[in-house]
Amino acid sequence: MSDSAHDETPMLGMDLPEAPAPAASSGPYRVLARKYRPQTFAELIGQDAMVKTLGNAIARDRLAHAFLMTGVRGVGKTSTARLIAKALNCIGPDGQGGPTIDPCGVCEPCRAITEGRHIDVIEMDAASNTGVDDVREIIEAVRYAAVSARYKIYIIDEVHMLSRNAFNALLKTLEEPPPHVKFLFATTEVNKVPVTVLSRCQRFDLRRITPDMLFAHFSAILQKEGVEAEAPAIWLIANAAEGSVRDGLSILDQAIAHADLDGGGKVSAEQVRAMLGLSDRSSIAGLMAAILEGNSGGAIDLARAQYALGIEPVAMVRGLMELTHAITLAKVSRHDDPALAVADRERITDWAQKLGFAPLNRLWQLLLKGHDEVLRANNPLEHLEMLLLRVIYAASLPDPGELAKLLESGGIPAMPVAAAAAATGSERAAADPAPAAGPTTGALTIAQIHRLLESTGHHQLARQVYDDLRILELEPGRLVYAPVSALDGDFARRLGEALFGQTGSRWQVREGTGEGRPSLAQMKAAQRADNEARIRELPVVKAALAAFPDARLVEGDNNQHRSNP
């Protein structure tokens, strides 16, 4: 049964809006959510489409035998069911009226339904009556005509809680009920209602109530209650309600009590923020400024100061996410938050002009991932501090497109290679240009010998020189190399003949003893390792690897020949 059936003062009309009670009243206090429950369809905010459909159905006498109201909590599902019950059973002030979309509210059926005492309007909570036996009682009772009303109406709240057997037992009656019976279902989880039941009902999806509608509704209630409130405070409550009138009225009740105790009777934005545990806008803006400036120490100090004031780390992350969202919307001229002060609007506009979509998107993704981490953390403050550092060092990274442009324009300095060449004793090998093909009698480096062989079609010999040749001595007309198993006994002869053919000079090529200097391939590997180590030390790369631990460095030119020094 409805909780209204157990109201301690049923004759007062628990659902009728009332003027503020005088201070001397001895009656029990009724929370705003019950006191201002809509009593007519005109008072049902945000559901115009449904009201129009019902009005047309009643006017044309095309009433369904079962209605299903679905939507998030607090949007008026149960209230709508009661309004439909009144609309169908209203007889008007003169007792001669029929079904109407505007029930009079004064006839006996209207008053009895409002007070929860009408014998032919039965409310059942499916969360408490889930079994097939509970449904069987309904099936047995529908056979009997209404006692004093036009229709016998069954309101089943949270209908998705019924068991599968209970749903199955109800199907036949739901499909072909007696003409004097109407079923009104309400649920927050319509996906759990069997399709066989959905197909037998006329469904209404009640919409979330927009913040501006809630603002107007709460402002009107505050005026009726004789309570002063700052507009930003009302906007905060409207946004915190998340589309639910009931949730918003519960918060408003609490805010009024808070103001009575601490604020001289006026509801202020500062008090509402403190009550809801929301971070201060100016503090979040300061934290965002520190992030964008790369001020890691300042960001951590601000976070710790907020934490000391009682602001939860996850609330700070949410504040940063809201601000990032606001900046991004401002870039496309779609940001409109009436709760913002002029200074806050100007700051968001300024950031929107300076920041691109790519860094804002990265900032959002980092905060979104960090939100879940902070929410689940054993020590949220530590996780928040690590998140701030990660964001500071990763949010400003260039995206792949920007990075490519920087590389093309020379905006990123090339990695030095002299150290690798010096480590192998081959500065000239790393720097000397390749000679043109053709006879020459000058001194050659091993790199130039490799290129000469490669450019004149001695590809196999060039690969052996690049991969395996470890020089012991190299001077004009003489080359001595370290013994390597990969170089066969005929290698010296073939190399000498190739050099003679290209330089026009006789070359003495022979195998010596000792380790020799690293081959060109080994020098290249050492150079690559050195470059990678230097790249990893760059702040921008350090930040990227810290933010994305699974990332790896990849060479940019995959088409380059592997033997190119």
565 falls within a domain: no
Q: For 264-317, how does the pLDDT look when each residue is reduced to its tens digit (9 = 90+)?
A: 678 888 888 778 766 667 788 888 888 888 888 889 999 998 888 778 899 899
Amino acid type, 169: A
* 378-387, 415-424, 446-455, 533-542: range with lowest mean pLDDT: 415-424
Question: Is residue 565 pLDDT above 50, yes or no?
Answer: no
Q: Are residues 290 and 378 in the same domain?
A: yes
Q: Are residues 342 and 486 in the same domain?
A: no
Q: What is the mean pLDDT of residues 314-343?
A: 81
Q: What is the mean pLDDT of residues 375-393?
A: 89
Q: What is the mean pLDDT of residues 39-66?
A: 87
Look at residue 137 in the predicted model and tell me its pLDDT: 87
Query: Are 103 and 86 in contact, with CB atoms under 8 Å apart?
Result: yes
Q: Are residues 45 and 138 in the same domain?
A: yes
Domain count of the fold of the chain = 4
Q: Are residues 267 and 293 in the same domain?
A: no
Domain boundary among 484, 499, 522: 522
Question: Is residue 395 pLDDT above 60, yes or no?
Answer: no
A 10 A CB-CB count for 342 gives 7
Q: Are residues 155 and 294 in the same domain?
A: no
Q: Are residues 38 and 107 in the same domain?
A: yes
Q: Are residues 302 and 427 in the same domain?
A: no
> Could you give the CA distance from residue 299 to residue 527 in angstroms, rounded to a whole number?
39
Q: What is the mean pLDDT of residues 391-408?
A: 60
535 falls within a domain: no
For residue 7 the two structure tokens come to: 């109201």
Instruction: Report the half-sphere exposure of 41 (CA within 13 A, side-chain side).
Output: 21
Share of the chain above pLDDT 90, in %: 9
Look at residue 416 in the predicted model and tell me its pLDDT: 36
Is residue 363 classed exposed, middle or buried when 0-12, 13-18 and 19+ CB atoms within 10 A define those classes? buried
Buried-exposed string 6-43: b where 16+ CB fall within 10 A, e elsewhere: ebeeeeeebbeeeeeeeeeeeeeebebbebbbbbbbee
554 falls within a domain: no
Q: What is the mean pLDDT of residues 69-74?
A: 88
Instruction: Supply the CATH number for residue 365's domain.
Output: 1.20.272.10
Domain boundary among 205, 223, 240: 205
Q: Are residues 49 and 187 in the same domain?
A: yes
To 5 degrees, how large is the angle CA 206–CA 212–CA 217? 75
Q: Are residues 144 and 115 in the same domain?
A: yes
Range of the domain at 361: 281-394
Q: Are residues 371 and 499 in the same domain?
A: no
Domain boundary among 205, 237, 266: 205
Instruction: Supply the CATH number for residue 93's domain.
Output: 3.40.50.300
> Could you give the CA distance from residue 332 to residue 349 in angstroms, rounded to a whole number?
11
451 falls within a domain: yes
Q: Are residues 434 and 481 in the same domain?
A: yes
Q: For 195-240, how does the pLDDT look when each residue is reduced to its tens digit (9 = 90+)?
A: 999 998 989 888 888 888 899 999 999 998 888 888 888 888 888 8
Average pLDDT, the chain: 79
Is residue 200 classed exposed, middle or buried when 0-12, 13-18 and 19+ CB atoms within 10 A define those classes? buried
Buried-exposed string 459-482: b where 16+ CB fall within 10 A, e elsewhere: eebbbbbbbbbbbbebeeeebbbb
Q: Are residues 62 and 199 in the same domain?
A: yes
Strand intervals (E) in 140-218:
152-157, 181-187, 202-205
Q: Which residue has the higher pLDDT, 222 or 434?
A: 222
Share of the chain above pLDDT 70, in %: 81
Instruction: Supply the CATH number for residue 269's domain.
Output: 1.10.8.60
> Could you give the CA distance from residue 28 to residue 18 in angstroms, rounded to a whole number?
14
Cα–Cα distances in Å, from 497 out to 384, 456, 458, 544? 70, 13, 11, 52
371 falls within a domain: yes
72 falls within a domain: yes
Instruction: Supply the CATH number for residue 467's domain.
Output: 3.30.300
Q: Which residue has the higher pLDDT, 561 or 192?
A: 192
Assign 146 to helix, strand or coil. coil
Look at residue 185 in the predicted model and tell me its pLDDT: 92
Confidence of residue 184 (pLDDT cuts 50, 70, 90): very high
> Could you give the CA distance from residue 38 to residue 74 in angstroms, rounded to a whole number?
12
544 falls within a domain: no
Look at residue 396 in the predicted model and tell me its pLDDT: 52
Question: Is residue 80 pLDDT above 80, yes or no?
Answer: yes
Question: Is residue 142 pLDDT above 50, yes or no?
Answer: yes
310 falls within a domain: yes
β-sheet bridge partners, residue 430: none
Q: For 470-510, how does the pLDDT look when each residue is reduced to its tens digit (9 = 90+)?
A: 999 888 888 999 998 888 888 889 998 888 888 878 888 99
